[in-house]
Structure 1
Amino acid sequence: MSEHDIFVKSVNRNTLSKQVIEQIVQLLASGQVKPGDKLPPEMELMEKLGVSRPVLREALSSLETMGVITRKTRGGTYFNDKIGSEPFSVMLALSIDNLPAIIEARMALELGLVTIAAEKITDEQLEQLKETIDMIADSEDDNYGVYDKRFHKIIALSANNPVVEGMIFSLLITHEKMDRLIRTRDREITVEHHLAIYHALKKRDPYEAFEQMYRHLSFVREKLLSYEQQWLENTTVLTSDPM
């Protein structure tokens, strides 16, 4: 099939970028294109989808961040070869604005990975975990997001499981999405939670590791959802018609 012979529906004006993402992913789901195939040029996609260049580029940028596509300078845009084996990245791309779903996806992955990590984590990786905790504790102005991410990445990689390896990238994206939404950090609580997870892993106790990770992620979930609720309430007030 020619790279130009594709069929997509034009999108509505509401949530344009997300609808463009859905339409492009649908090309894969419907079999019109395959992993590794080249997408049509921007002008053709704009015409078929009925959107402006900024909207299309926003959608393509999101898909690239999710690992669904790769854009090459003067070489066009391609679906990634491994996308067929990484459907989680596609689902994440479609739900990137659904905060509760993003949080639950991260919890589902990390709670499973931390129990495996309790059995497989090496002494060297445990030392690396402790280093990240020390860096968080010593951070100035509570600017420790990079060390927080490193802590969770070490645990995920320590599971050393090729089947879930493709999900780790998506896990880190959910972490970044959530991290960007945090307005104020609780360094002492973060250190306390991370230490509890670290000690459980050091004891090679998957049950305690699960419990401590769940406590940590539940705290983060409640915090982020409260932010979202406040934002929704403020938006409602600002958009309400005056009496």
Structure 2
Amino acid sequence: MPFQKVVPEKLSTSVVKQIELLILRGVLRPGERLPAERELADKLGVSRPSLREAIAELQERGLLSAKAGAGVFVADVLGNAFAPALVKLFAAHEDAVFDYVSFRKDMEGLAAERAAVYASDTDLQVIDSVFKKMEAAHPKRNPADEAHLDAEFHLAIIEASHNVIMLHMMRSMYDLLREGVFYNRSMLFKHRATRSELLDQHRLINDALQARDAKAARAAVEEHLTFVEHSLTDHSKSLRNEVVARQRLEHEQARG
């Protein structure tokens, strides 16, 4: 007969599985500090020795790391997504920027389409909440804040798509974007007209998601990233033109 005896599971094993799932689902993020041992044991309803055993196993697996005097943290498992040499190569070549935007267009268009179908009502509330923060930040004209909220908005959509592979892959890509590897996000928010257009584009994305219109959500994301691509092209041309203009000015001044 195809039956086996049920073996009771160790408490530490249950803790390991729970923390693993929280990391896998993106609830616990790389670099995030876990609660203190006593507090976490209470939350999980286990003894501190069982918790220590689970933490030790997760550290051994490379999912958690301990810092002396600071606590236990989710390991930076995304840090090795790209080799340092490849990151430098990305940063040094303009082609990587446009390939990145094209990749985002494909992936985030799909994520928005999935989110419109699979997101829970709570997921949609999170996306709407971030968009409202974007609206509130708009009059303040702080490019750094706007760039940060822009990233949070797009990552909230990816989280709402409920595909863990896409989630971790895109988080690693956004970490590089935040570090300016692909382009300076703040550059997009420098001009009044561009800032207003970007806000309107995010409003269309949010509206489509709240209406659970998968086709419109994907189209809105793709149109937004096409706009980003064109803006980056214009910025790149502007920088090249400025170099030529300065050369002409220096030459003219040298001629007396």
TM-score between the two structures when normalised by the length of structure 2? 0.54
Q: Which residue of 2 aligns with 1:188?
A: 196
Q: Unpaired segments of 5 or more residues in structure 1? A: 1-71, 73-79
Question: Given the alignment of the two structures, is residue 96 of structure 1 paired with residue 86 of structure 2, yes or no?
Answer: no
Deviation at 1:198, TM superposition (A): 1.4
Q: Which residue of 2 aligns with 1:233?
A: 241
Deviation at 1:212, TM superposition (A): 0.6
After superposition, where does 1:39-50 map in structure 2 within 5 Å? none
Deviation at 1:174, TM superposition (A): 5.6
Moved more, 225-234 or 135-144: 135-144
> C-alpha distance in 2, partners of 1:189/1:197?
13
> C-alpha distance in 1, partners of 2:87/2:107?
13
- Deviations along 1:7-52, one digit per CA (max 9) or x if unpaired, are xxxxxxxxxxxxxxxxxxxxxxxxxxxxxxxxxxxxxxxxxxxxxx
* AA in 2 matched with 1:184: H
> C-alpha distance in 2, partners of 1:88/1:162?
22
Deviation at 1:94, TM superposition (A): 2.8
Contact 1:115–1:209 (8 Å) recurs in 2: yes
Contact 1:88–1:167 (8 Å) recurs in 2: no
* AA in 1 matched with 2:174: L
Query: Higher relative contact order by CA 8 Å / sep ≥ 6: 1 or 2?
Result: 2
Question: Given the alignment of the two structures, is residue 201 of structure 1 paired with residue 209 of structure 2, yes or no?
Answer: yes
Counting matched residue pairs gives 164
Select the structure of larger CA radius of gyration.
Answer: 2
Cα distance 1:88–1:207, how it changes in 2: closer, same or farther (>3 A)?
A: farther
Q: 1:216 aligns with which of 215, 219, 224?
A: 224
Contact 1:109–1:171 (8 Å) recurs in 2: no
Deviation at 1:234, TM superposition (A): 1.2
Cα distance 1:91–1:180, how it changes in 2: closer, same or farther (>3 A)?
A: farther
> C-alpha distance in 1, partners of 2:172/2:83?
7
Contact 1:103–1:221 (8 Å) recurs in 2: yes
> C-alpha distance in 1, partners of 2:83/2:209?
27
Q: Which residue of 2 aligns with 1:135?
A: 133
Contact 1:121–1:159 (8 Å) recurs in 2: yes
Q: Which residue of 2 aligns with 1:147?
A: 149
* AA in 2 matched with 1:109: M
Deviation at 1:230, TM superposition (A): 0.4
Q: Unpaired segments of 5 or more residues in structure 2? A: 1-66, 68-75
> C-alpha distance in 2, partners of 1:137/1:104?
26
Cα distance 1:163–1:200, how it changes in 2: closer, same or farther (>3 A)?
A: same
